[in-house]
Amino acid sequence: MPTVLSVTLAIGSHRLSQQGAITKRMTAIEEMAGMDVLCSDKTGTLTLNRLTVDRNLVEVFAKDMDKDTVVLLAARASRLENQDAIDAAIINMLADPKEARANITEVHFLPFNPVDKRTAITYIDSNGNWIRASKGAPEQVPTCLNANHPKISNSLVLGNKKHWCN
């Protein structure tokens, strides 16, 4: 099976290169095959290879939550090192990237993987509150929150015009 997959990806990569596509990783072809929506802009992502998030387009669908808090929680659920384009774009929304981990004690970080389609961080804030923040596919994020952790009393998930509260 691994041989079949490797050969299939190599053939796909070759065909894409004949059409002018540049693939940096073989797995990118497989990841694109599973994609439902591609968001890009003709002036930034494709020409500069840099993804950006427009803070003005961030929508908040939860009571007692503002854009700044949502951006901060998303940045906290992002990797600070070895970032992918999405993590970098989210962290760049902060005035200072160090703000993403300021005044918190990280307890656990779940990195992104294509199976779970989400990241999550559990941390203790400066008031001693245990908080879990997650970002990822809206249908996947709720599965990692309130995972029977005795110190996390509630969770809020924002994404794709849906919100869940436990």
25/62 same-domain check: no
28/65 same-domain check: no
φ, ψ dihedrals at 4, nearest 5°: -60, -45
Active site residues: 41
In a domain, 125, yes or no: yes
24/106 same-domain check: no
Which sign, positive or negative, has the C-alpha torsion 55, 58, 63, 69?
Answer: negative
> Which residue range forms the structural domain that includes residue 103?
58-165
14/63 same-domain check: no
6/70 same-domain check: no
Report field, pTM of the whole predicted structure over 0.85: no
65/31 same-domain check: no
79/151 same-domain check: yes
- Calpha distance 100→154 (Å, rounded): 21
Per-residue pLDDT of the chain (166 residues), as tens digits, is 566 766 777 787 778 778 777 666 666 666 766 666 666 555 555 556 677 888 888 888 777 888 898 899 999 999 888 778 888 889 999 999 899 999 999 999 988 888 888 888 899 999 998 888 888 887 776 665 555 554 544 444 444 333 333 3
27/104 same-domain check: no
Cβ atoms of 77 and 133 within 8 Å: the answer is: yes
Number of domains composing the chain: 2
In a domain, 52, yes or no: no
- Calpha distance 64→77 (Å, rounded): 20
The CATH number of the domain holding residue 103 is 3.40.1110.10
Token readout for 123 is 């941390």
Cβ atoms of 49 and 41 within 8 Å: the answer is: no
Local structure of 78: helix, strand or coil: coil
82/152 same-domain check: yes
In a domain, 50, yes or no: no
Cβ atoms of 91 and 78 within 8 Å: the answer is: yes
71/104 same-domain check: yes
